[in-house]
Structure 1
């Protein structure tokens, strides 16, 4: 208000992001071909090059031999070989460094974790207290997730515009019903790309934008749009084309993440995107 500019506030629910636990040294270096075990149990001691705990204890019920598990937004890949009690025995597929609390996805989706955690339900009350304009639902799977969120907001006397973040394979399957149950749709390309694979992502981005527009819903395209500007003062030509193509396809908004939250050139990133 002081600057004479109206800026909407979007509250983003964390959702059920699955993460590994911690390592004794904070990180480990894993080599392709090495054995590595994920332990689905509370109170697991800090991990090392052979094992680490996971935050979602039900993971062992959602995976099986042959499944590919992706960590750190796909930078590290593990293939499940066997299950034993609370242990998922895997084989490392890619060399790399894995550090504390990195995210974990199953290639192709299929994890049974619900969209709303107890923390999310409490955070709805906090977002209502500041009267945020938008409420984003992370990892939604169906219209039921959006309906539950709307009901929880209504119960505390709040009516935000609901944003469905499309970032799970199941959300693609139920895309139309999710769009209808939402006010805004976000193409959340980070986790979505990890779950369905980068090769499928461009076509799906266009499909999500097209479906949202058909149902007269606002659509946001997000994630790594100007990623190089975290460290550089100008975008790459590929990033310029990425932003332009999203706009040409009909997206109503484009979003910055690390570029403006933790990057070295937040103002330049915003200026570049506006151009």
Structure 2
């Protein structure tokens, strides 16, 4: 099996055995299951479809289980979505608040301790960018650099900041165990920072008595320093 892979994500657009077979015929040799979305029942269905289609095609197709990783999110707003304009002041707080256009909570209680003035925060996969102006108690006060809409539970990312969240959430650990028991060929770990994060995955694998390759997704600067 070649080392370079043509990877396709198995999602709602690929709901039939015929479509999976067409992907294999087109050159797919790794099927990705994104554990950020969907139920185990849905993933198992796609898992079985890939195995059956690969067998029918007589070609090896690996299955990659991609773990969500630690996801930091905005909390909920009273209403919205809200459009943030360039230069607006937008506060993210660890207090329990009813979110407004000016101030909203976050799921990550360590945010004020990890941020400092000048840090960038990307919201909704970078669709909105804010820059930290000041950290005051539980509030991270920011100014909007790249305008856009914000709404309930959007993900936030701190590209240059070493956040102090674990490499795997409880959900990730359960998803990892599911993938190992299902017979996955590869595991992908999101937001890897150092070798200790990979070792955490290996520890779960050892508990399950199954060792398969781990793909480290390099999404943080700490991973390459």
TM-score (norm 2): 0.70
Q: State the distance in 2 between where 1:62 and 1:68 align.
A: 12
- Structure 1: how far apart are the matches of 2:116 and 2:106? 16
Equivalent residue in structure 2 for 1:115, among 163, 167, 174: 167
Structure 1 residue 29 and structure 2 residue 83: aligned? yes
Q: CA deviation at 1:140?
A: 1.1
Counterpart residue number, 1:10: 64
Determine the C-alpha separation between the residues in 1 that align with 2:163 and 2:186.
27
Give the one of 181, 184, 192 matched to 1:140: 192
Residue 179 of structure 2 is matched in structure 1 by 127
Q: Superposed, which structure 2 residues align to 1:1-275 within 5 Å?
A: 1-41=55-95, 43-45=96-98, 47-173=99-225
Q: 2 CA distance for matches of 1:107 and 1:12?
A: 20
Structure number having the greater helix percentage: 1
Deviations 1:124-153 (A, max 9, x none): 211122011111111111111111211211
* SS state at 2:72 partner: coil
Is the contact between residue 119 and residue 160 of structure 2 (CA under 8 Å) also seen in structure 1? no
CA contact (8 A) 1:70 1:104 kept: yes
Shift of 1:87: 1.4
| Conserved 8 A contact 1:131-1:158 | no
- What is the alpha-carbon distance in structure 2 between the residues aligned to residue 118 and residue 24 of structure 1? 28
> Which SS does the other structure have where 1:108 is aligned?
coil
User: Shift of residue 26 of structure 1?
Assistant: 4.4
In structure 1, the gaps of 5 or more residues are 174-275
Normalising by structure 1, report the TM-score: 0.58
For 2:110 and 2:129, the matched residues in 1 are separated by 20
Aligned to 1:207: none
Alpha-carbon shift at residue 8 of structure 1 (Å): 1.0
User: Which structure carries more relative contact order (alpha carbon 8 Å, separation 6+)?
Assistant: 2
CA distance, structure 1, for counterparts of residue 97 and residue 215 of structure 2: 36
Distance 2:197 2:178 in 1: 19
Name the Cα RMSD after superposition: 1.7
Q: Distance in 1 between matches of 2:179 and 2:80?
A: 33
Number of residue-to-residue matches in the alignment: 171
- The whole-number CA distance in structure 1 between the counterparts of 2:132 and 2:61 is 46
Measure, in 2, the Cα distance between the counterparts of 1:116 and 1:96: 30
